[in-house]
Amino acid sequence: MEKQAKKVALITGANKGLGLEIARQLGQQGLAVVLGARQGKAEAPAAELRAQGLDARAVELDVTNAADIAALPQFLQDNYGRLDVVVNNAGVQLDEGFDVSPDTLRRTYEANVIGPYAITQALLPLLRQAPAGRIVNQSSILGSLATISAGEGGSWATPGYTSSKAALNMLTVVLAQHLAATNIKVNAAHPGWVKTDMGGENAPLDVREGAQTAVRLALLPADGPTGGYFHGTETLAW
């Protein structure tokens, strides 16, 4: 298809929680939003966003499934002729305490590190054509070596989730440096502690607030930062 005028954003893990809300807010900003989710789970939320007047579409995307990822560039090319924003939001927290099995660690890395890496790699050719490509990696303050080494992780400082988000942070920095001479900006987001299935009921923030960091990074102006780690407008220590 010929390149459409409207910007296009792909959000992974967009069937619920922060991903769905990020898609909603980007849609409200006038972008066409593509909701990635596994097992057909993005269909109903995409229809919900369309009913709210937004330009939304579902795509089958298990971030650990190589065939789903390989199909993405053609899907985006056929339906929009462009891609401007990728929000690598899908993630898992599988740790049950400190004694994480190697298998759990492996599954955590598949979803939180290798998935975002593979998706970004597959979509870079399209992003390079965008006037203002933006990659947002949904990290966590628990991926901060500075925070965890200062003893501020408490009982959340378990091996799998924290180290996977630290790895995602490093991918953010390395990719941002690699793309420094291009129009593409790459940043990591900490949404805060947010009420979702992962964050639980005791979290102080709702998804509307939690989505704002990733949305800001997805819409950064040309003079905005790249290779950074943010919560809201606050820069976090790696």
Ligand X SMILES: NC(=O)c1ccc[n+]([C@@H]2O[C@H](COP(=O)([O-])OP(=O)(O)OC[C@H]3O[C@@H](n4cnc5c(N)ncnc54)[C@H](OP(=O)(O)O)[C@@H]3O)[C@@H](O)[C@H]2O)c1
Residue 189 phi, psi (nearest 5): -115, 140
User: Which residue in 80, 109, 117, 161 is the catalytic one?
Assistant: 161
Judged by CB under 6 A, the stretch of 1-9, 36-44, 117-125, 228-236 that binds ligand X is: 36-44
15 binds ligand X (CB under 6 A): yes
Nearer to ligand X, 88 or 226 (CB): 88
Instruction: Assign 138 to helix, strand or coil.
Output: strand
**Binding ligand X by CB under 6 A: which of 167, 194, 211, 219?**
194
Phi-psi label, residue 32: left if phi above 0, alpha if psi -120 to 50, beta otherwise: beta
223 binds ligand X (CB under 6 A): no
Residue with tokens 């900006």: 185
**Binding ligand X by CB under 6 A: which of 8, 9, 19, 218?**
19
191 binds ligand X (CB under 6 A): yes
Q: Is 117 a catalytic residue?
A: no
Cβ contacts of residue 79 below 8 Å, gap of 6+? Answer: 1, 57
Map residues 58-97 to x or -, x wherever contact with ligand X holds by CB under 6 A: ---xxxx------------------------xxxx-----
Nearer to ligand X, 130 or 214 (CB): 214
E strands, 38-84, in order: 56-60
| 162 touches 177 (CB < 8 A) | no
DSSP 1-22: -PPPSS-EEEESSTTSHHHHHH
The whole-angstrom distance between residue 118's C-alpha and the CA centroid of its chain comes to: 13
Residues at the interface with ligand X (CB under 6 A): 12-13, 15-19, 37-38, 41, 61-64, 89-92, 111, 138, 140, 191, 193-194, 196-199, 203
Catalytic residues: 161
